Structure 1
Amino acid sequence: MTEREILERLARSHEIAPDYYDIWGHRHEVPDASLRALLAALGVHAATPQEAEDSIRAIESERWRAVIAPAVVMRDDAAPWSLRLNLAAADADFPLAWRLTQEDGKGHEGVIDPASLTVAESADLDGERFTAREFALPVTAPCGYHRLAILRDGAMIGETALIVVPALCFRPLAVQNDGRVWGAAAQLYAVRSERNWGIGDFTDLAALLAQWGARGAGVVGVNPLHALFPHNPEHASPYSPSSRCFVNVLYLDVEAIADFAECDEALAQARSPEFQSRLKALRDADLVDYTGVAQVKLPMLERCFAHFRGRHLAAGTPRAQAFRAWQAAHAPALRQHALFEALQEHFHREDPQVCGWPAWPEAYRDPAAPEVAHFAESNAERVEFYEYLQWQAELQLEAIGRRSMELGLGVGLYQDLAVSVDRGGAEAWANQDLYAIAASVGAPPDAFNMRGQDWGLPPLAPERLRAAAYAPFIDTLRANMRHAGALRIDHVMALARLYWVPQGSEPRDGAYVSYPFEDLVGIVALESHRNRCMVIGEDLGTVPDEVRATLTRVGILSYRVLFFERQGSGDFKPPAEYPAEALVTAATHDLPTLAGYWAGRDLALRQELGLFPAEEAHQAQVLARAQDRARLLLALERAGLLPEGATVD
């Protein structure tokens, strides 16, 4: 093989595609340097042809010597389930046993005659022959998370997480049998009210549910509510979170916390003319003053926590017991998140340039380091403060979920799940082995951005995710579904493949990396039912037809945007031509508003930022936008929806 062929073989063995086709149908070969950089991000050595060949042998040996995969996902309607067992040929004559332990503790067991199993594949490794044999499990199990062990002479030689999933996602009654609902979407941080502290909060969100529900809406959507960075409030993008498993504490309504009402000092400060004047200034500002909001909220939250410690934790009251139970239920992830918050606050106070764990002193970059344990012990009260904030966020979000049910909304709260996390945040720190930290998620060049995109977020490594039996993915779904009636998965194609860009490279030089699509959508369906939460997949951009077909098959709604829904002529589609299994919206968080689109403000901004490769491309888009304005008016006229007084002339 040539050096390129060796490199391509190694890349494919790690799910990295050596080429891709853009939206114009042009093939792009991924540069050798990019393939090597992405392999390095996965911890795979490929600097020389010899290293690449050694790495090929290493991955093949690892896979063949594993008796069974670390996780197997099976649909409940596809039994009997066939499982692949990798066995050394010399062991094929020795009987094996299997033991299935269901999630509820119920057990099943039996024997396996390897010689009677169908051989699906074979390989020779260092002079030893291995065969892959198909084992049909003779029992079934209900949907859920189970453990299957393979044994020889009573000793376990392999074990897998057997995840049984439903064929379809959950769907609420309101949208079954051709039912439809409508609703509003809001960026919670931008919601104004007469009572909030300069940023939309969870009480505002409850009010939105009530207000829109009274108008007949069945759903209210919000931006991702993920945890950001309290030490740096200006890091405000909800799509670049510190963690997707915890919540942005700036959304807390301080006045709704029980400890605020009990704390005389907090009440006195909040009622003071000076404090009220600060709140008014924050509410009246044209833009959200994130730093100002944090400066009034966080000290008040510290007062609330100090009161809680003195009045409840010290006395072991029922509220203290509830907090302790919640801590235990969410350990160890909660403690690691809170510990990250305390560490980042500590190092940022020492040096304001420190932002994220890669900039911490090296001893603290490993969550399991003794220095980290010592810090946690020495700063236990501060760590617990951040746990307390997450507890309060959980209580307020839980109340919103209950409120949407009480209001009888057909769907209720519609949350949003970001595609990944900030590489310097809590989730990446706690799970460094799961992320390809030296790569970023992005997109190849397309009509929206002709230079391609680098979103600056590290991708999950597919092999490591499967080795973890998908637990981090499951935890993320649960954290975002448990109080929602619907969840939008941003860039849902990430379940099938993601475009990775090596750090320091141009987006055009990235590559697609494949993920275990059927496994992941199956888990989405399982968690959808367990949390009674319908799922919408944001499937915009370059999405293969087979991906959309699978999403439809499992009941994940498509996500259709007015601007992009066109007929072959370029005209806007009439409503009847939209797919029935879809959520339809005028715009998204990363597109212009309808007013901005009409005025061409997005084109002006892209020109200002140098996102057009040439002036001709800019002029072509300006001309196309003028045509689109006319097309939109004509589409509204044809549908009988043209506003009163408006004409197509």
Structure 2
Amino acid sequence: MNDALTRLADACGIAHEYHDIWGNHHPTSESTRRDLLAAMHFDLSHDAGVLLDELMAAERAIPALPAEAIAQRCHLPAVLADGGRLWGLSVQLYGLRSRRNWGIGDFTDLAWLVDLVAAAGGAFIGLNPLHALFPDNPAHISPYSPSHRVFLNVLYIDVEAVPEFAACESVQCRVASAEFQARLSALRETPRVDYVGVARLKLEVLRALFDFHRAHAGACLAGFAVWREAQGEALERFALFEALQAHFRAQDPDCWGWPAWPAEYRDPGSTAVAAFREDHAVEIDWHAWLQWQAYEQLAAVARRTRERGMAIGLYRDLAVGAHPGGAEVWHWQTVFAIGNGGANTGAPPDELNLLGQDWGLPPLIPHRLRAVGYAPFIEVLHANMKHAGALRIDHVMGLMRLFWVPGDTPATEGAYVHYPFDTLLGLVARASLDHACLVIGEDLGTVPAGFRERLFAAGVLSYHPLIFERYPDGNFRLPADMPRQALVSASTHDLPTLAGFWQGVDLEIRTQLMLFPNNEVRERLITERDWDRGRLLWALERENLLPPGVSKDPKALAELTPEVITAIHAYLARSPAMLLSVQPEDVFACRDQINVPGTLEDQHPNWQRKLPVTLEAWPEMPSWQALVTVLAAER
């Protein structure tokens, strides 16, 4: 073993070993160390001892963060500090149906939902990540694989709410035409979001409004300029990326992502990029203008939550990373692990993923993150907290360590890399206080010893779906035994819905897609699901919540009735947990889960399904009325 190489790896946070869920020991191989160091941009043709000396010298030269950049505890709303227990909805914005949207949920739908939830006594609306995706490639739809986490997905813009729409008669006539309305109607009627069709229609009209804006906007033009200047260089570089990507895709449809661009354009500081910026100013303006429209509409919704008296308001979601071909990595490519084959974040092997997981998202390099004063991390935090009363941090364990998988290598060969936990958590707390934004940590999966205690001390809420709320004997935890500093829910986007859980739809899907590691595991989980049905009914009975006429024998209940689903939410509402999050997929007894981890869109329609009920019909739905009534009584 190369001692100098090991010391260099140690200095870079690469762990010597890890233990999997079965307790098996996995030492980090020299090959993995080399691959991960290469991904960190080290040239390993040089002596490792020299590289270590250079690293240590560079580390010593990094100035300490000012004391005011760090805080000890996150913001906690007074209503929660005083013992309050709040509830809200967690929705997939794209999946909202309405009679007026253009085939995808938008910010006007969200404003309408704010009114509905506030009137029902709800305190927040949780959202899927709203991060910018790829307008030139709308088929890339995962909100957890964004182009840039600072900026917004422009497909959520309500085109007809753009100020120029009311002033542009030609666009109004185009939209009112029978041909255009037929296209709109078709997009609204599909059971799944047609992202390509939606993008084609929205961007076509938005571009016409942008052209009108440039010619006639007057005061609006000045407003855009003021906003744009306030966003600074980060927006300019993002809009530049969007213009470059559109330019190269127009020349070659296969040229997607900055690593596929001509070499002279891959460096944001190159002379070729500077020349493109000068020559394509209008296209850069266009992409900046799209962000302005999205920003203004989201900000208006945030104001609406305050006007309606919601204690928290918008509850946003921060993805764990960004797509390697997107704008965020292009901008900060020296700080991401993309050197010499790169590395991706993922997860070690577990019972359902014997080969481990590779999420396709390059991680930030700890020492290079320190060297830039944590700027990418701080930028992302502040952008996502700005118009939010709460922020969910996906895979919050990444503040302490991430599982890195070398490029083109099985996940079984990965290793953990440690991060400056105290500093990152302190930065989260500082941003939380600056924006009066509650923080929820998605702490599911393999959690390091002592980690949850550290989050608790910092005022971060833990994440507790009912499916995982168990006693050691497997029975569901009773409400009184659930934690206080937590968000509880029936399920999440990565887990089966209540109706799907009851009917074993998730197990059927995994069987069809051959996602079980072996038949023994499959049979055991099917047996455990049979037990879980009985355990769930027993738990409801223990709380005197089992609806009249419902048998305690799970075999007598072929599917969950609306009454049982309401009872489950009443069960959760009785917990002392600060927050209760409700998925409309559960309220409306949807069987199919939103996302099946480990699958691609061509295997399973992840991130595509629309809700079965239009927003306009929600108030009259008996299941919605029953939910609101029981939450008012229990919470």
What TM-score do the two structures reach when normalised by structure 1?
Answer: 0.83
Aligned residue among 37, 40, 43 for 1:39? 37
Q: How many Å apart are 1:52 and its aligned residue?
A: 2.5
- 1:335 pairs with 2:217: no
Q: How many Å apart are 1:55 and its aligned residue?
A: 2.4
Q: Is the 8 A contact 1:71 1:466 kept in 2?
A: no
Q: How many Å apart are 1:518 and its aligned residue?
A: 0.8
Q: Is the 8 A contact 1:417 1:487 kept in 2?
A: yes
Q: Which residue of 2 aligns with 1:182?
A: 87
Q: Which residue of 2 aligns with 1:366?
A: 267
Aligned residue among 368, 382, 387 for 1:464? 368
Q: Is the 8 A contact 2:74 2:430 kept in 1?
A: yes
Q: Which residue of 2 aligns with 1:265?
A: 170
Structure 2 residue identity aligned to 1:435: F
Q: How many Å apart are 1:285 and its aligned residue?
A: 0.4
Q: Which residue of 1 aligns with 2:576?
A: none
Aligned residue among 52, 64, 69 for 1:71? 64
Q: Which residue of 2 aligns with 1:16?
A: 14
1:112-139 residue CA offsets vs partner (Å, 9 max, x unmatched): xxxxxxxxxxxxxxxxxxxxxxxxxxxx
The equivalences for 1:243-642 within 5 A come to 243-312=148-217, 317-437=218-338, 438-642=342-546
Partner Cα separation in structure 2 for residue 261 and residue 442 of structure 1: 47
Aligned length: 550
Partner Cα separation in structure 2 for residue 277 and residue 253 of structure 1: 18
Q: Is the 8 A contact 2:349 2:357 kept in 1?
A: yes
- 1:52 pairs with 2:52: no
Partner Cα separation in structure 2 for residue 168 and residue 590 of structure 1: 29
**3-state SS in 2 of match to 1:220:** strand
Q: How many Å apart are 1:339 and its aligned residue?
A: 1.0
Structure 1 residue identity aligned to 2:237: Q
Greater CA deviation, 374-383 or 243-252? Answer: 374-383
Partner Cα separation in structure 2 for residue 640 and residue 213 of structure 1: 29
Partner Cα separation in structure 1 for residue 9 and residue 58 of structure 2: 16
Q: How many Å apart are 1:395 and its aligned residue?
A: 0.5
What TM-score do the two structures reach when normalised by structure 2?
Answer: 0.85
**3-state SS in 2 of match to 1:545:** coil
Q: How many Å apart are 1:71 and its aligned residue?
A: 3.1
Aligned residue among 127, 137, 140 for 1:235? 140
Kindly tell me: are residues 598 and 6 of structure 1, through their superposed partners in 2, closer, same or farther at Cα, counting changes over 3 Å?
A: farther
**3-state SS in 2 of match to 1:457:** coil
Q: How many Å apart are 1:190 and its aligned residue?
A: 0.6
Q: Is the 8 A contact 1:183 1:217 kept in 2?
A: yes
Q: Is the 8 A contact 2:59 2:371 kept in 1?
A: no
1:307-335 residue CA offsets vs partner (Å, 9 max, x unmatched): 110012xxxx3322211111111121111
Q: Is the 8 A contact 2:72 2:426 kept in 1?
A: yes
Q: Is the 8 A contact 2:336 2:365 kept in 1?
A: yes
Q: Is the 8 A contact 1:442 1:500 kept in 2?
A: yes
Q: Is the 8 A contact 1:7 1:46 kept in 2?
A: no
Q: How many Å apart are 1:39 and its aligned residue?
A: 0.5
Q: Is the 8 A contact 2:352 2:515 kept in 1?
A: no
Partner Cα separation in structure 1 for residue 423 and residue 150 of structure 2: 21
- Unaligned runs of at least 5 residues, structure 2: 554-635
More helix by share: 2
1:4-36 residue CA offsets vs partner (Å, 9 max, x unmatched): x44332211110102111122221112221111
Partner Cα separation in structure 1 for residue 124 and residue 352 of structure 2: 29
Q: How many Å apart are 1:236 and its aligned residue?
A: 0.5
1:74-116 residue CA offsets vs partner (Å, 9 max, x unmatched): 4xxxxxxxxxxxxxxxxxxxxxxxxxxxxxxxxxxxxxxxxxx
Q: Which residue of 2 aligns with 1:197?
A: 102
Q: Which residue of 1 aligns with 2:593?
A: none
Partner Cα separation in structure 1 for residue 56 and residue 374 of structure 2: 22
Q: How many Å apart are 1:449 and its aligned residue?
A: 2.5
Partner Cα separation in structure 2 for residue 240 and residue 433 of structure 1: 19
Q: How many Å apart are 1:73 and its aligned residue?
A: 5.9
Partner Cα separation in structure 2 for residue 241 and residue 39 of structure 1: 25
More strand by share: 1
Higher relative contact order (CA 8 A, sep 6+): 2
Larger radius of gyration: 1
Structure 1 residue identity aligned to 2:208: R
- Unaligned runs of at least 5 residues, structure 1: 75-143, 145-162
**3-state SS in 2 of match to 1:536:** strand
